[in-house]
Amino acid sequence: MMNSLRKLASCVILDLDGTLVNTDGIVSEVLKVYLVKYQKKWDGREVQKIIGKTPIEAAAAIVEDYGLPLSKEDLLSEISPMFSDQWCKLKALPGAYRLIKHLTGHGVQMALASNSPREGIEEKISYHPTWKESFTAIVAGDEVKAGKPSPEIFLEAAKRLSIEPSKCLVIEDSLPGVAAAKAADMEVVAVPSLPKQSHLYTAADEVINSLLDLRPEKWGLPPFKDWIDGTLPLEPWHIGGPVIKGYGRGSKVLGIPTANLSVEGYASVLSEHPAGVYFGWAKLSTRGFYKMVMSIGWNPYFNNTEKTIEPWLLHKFDEDFYGEELHLVIVGYIRPEANFPSLESLIAKIHEDGKIAENALELPLYAKYKDETYFHSIKLAHNHH
């Protein structure tokens, strides 16, 4: 029903920082180090104030909030080289490569529109082969009079694509970016880069949890064809550790026996994956392999700055396995985190997730990872990091 109201898009304009690449982590790291010079301690919440702003506005906010004894221009010129040294560590966000490859493959024109200066954009995307040539146009913050939330960057991008603004679909992670896209009369899908913020994005035409959840067909663009039986295959990744006494939060409330896994040393791995429901293979050191579905969520106890995982081994165990090493290989994605109207509907959904995982893991595509040598090799790889 909604679809008929949506405008159809003929091109896609992408923001860069926080939308395609994970800039926030690097920004925090650099500022943490820099502020020590002034005996100040970086507060992670500050990121919310600078996301999506132009570099000079972000610098102004930091100077003011930390009472630094220098001008915003001086701060910017001191930290810019520090950022440059770090851009090689910038990771693509989940689903970024998949989206760019998909749109390129279907001949959908794309532009990159960012508040960052041209030089910074070029440097950041140079670490991601194929990206640069995928964009018909790149518009930078230093090529326009005013950055986002002014619509100028987006209007310029549409002009360079020779496509009317109302036929452009924008994908953005920040509030200034969403405001700019709407002011340019474009449709916009928001992928908020901060947890638990989606209620602030009311101006967006749609809010999604991560790029993995984008459904281009809603905007008249070619649909992804890579979903299989309700699952999206991922590049497998691994997490492991001892099972600690006590259950995951899910167990008591939901009657679903989730393992309480100590994820020390895996915080950075977890930070790279969107909150949601995943599945794969679990291996208990003394008992072998089990099918597994798990949720990644934000831990409310840590002000939503840390992620937690709850793996559910799809097997009836007669006894506890505290202290045993549990290794998980995550091979696919099922759905984003969602809010449920009632406990019953949540429990029903989790059982449905379990069935989807149970069936999908029979497919050769996923079944092949239930493999002793493979588990051994990834374990070694992690220990060498």
Residues 6+ apart with CB under 8 A from 37: none
Catalytic residue among 15, 173, 206, 353: 15
pLDDT of 154 above 70: yes
Confidence of residue 266 (pLDDT cuts 50, 70, 90): confident
- The confidence band for 356, taking pLDDT boundaries of 50, 70 and 90, is very high
Respond yes or no: is residue 206 known to be catalytic: no
| 79-102 residue pLDDT tens | 888 888 888 888 999 999 999 999
Coil, strand, or helix at residue 308? strand
Mark whether 17 is an active-site residue. Answer: yes
pLDDT range class, residue 243, cuts 50, 70, 90: confident
- How much is the pLDDT for 264? 73
**Whose CA is closest to 181, among 131, 111, 125?**
111
CA atoms within 13 A on the CB side of 344: 0
The CATH classification number of 23-86 equals: 1.10.150
Residue 357: what pLDDT? 97
| d(C-alpha 110, C-alpha 133), whole Å | 10
Per CATH, which fold does 232-382 belong to? Answer: Elongation Factor Tu (Ef-tu); domain 3 (2.40.30)
- For 160-198, the pLDDT digits (tens) are 999 999 999 999 999 999 999 999 999 999 999 877 788
Q: Looking at the DSSP assignment, which residues form a beta bridge with residue 240?
A: 327
Instruction: Give the residue carrying structure tokens 């202290």.
Output: 323
Predicted confidence (pLDDT) per residue in 193-237, tens digit = 877 788 899 999 999 999 999 999 999 999 999 999 999 999 999
15 in active site: yes
CB 19 within 8 A of CB 172: yes
Q: Which of 156, 205, 310, 353 is catalytic?
A: 310
**Structure tokens belonging to residue 71:** 């001008």
> 11-19+90-219 domain in CATH 3.20.190.10?
no
Q: pLDDT digits over 14-57, tens only?
A: 999 999 998 888 888 888 888 888 888 888 777 778 888 888 88
Q: What is the pLDDT of residue 230?
A: 96
> Do 232-382 and 23-86 fall under one CATH topology?
no
- Alpha-helical (H) ranges within the chain are 23-36, 47-50, 55-66, 72-86, 96-105, 118-126, 131-134, 152-161, 175-183, 249-254, 267-271, 343-360, 364-367, 372-384
Please tell me the least confidently modeled range out of 60-74, 134-148, 245-259, 310-324.
Answer: 245-259
Active-site hit among 17, 152, 213, 353: 17
Parse the chain into domains and list their residue ranges. 11-19+90-219, 23-86, 232-382
Contacts of 120 (CB under 8 A, 6+ apart): 83, 84, 87, 140
Percent of the chain having pLDDT more than 90?
Answer: 52
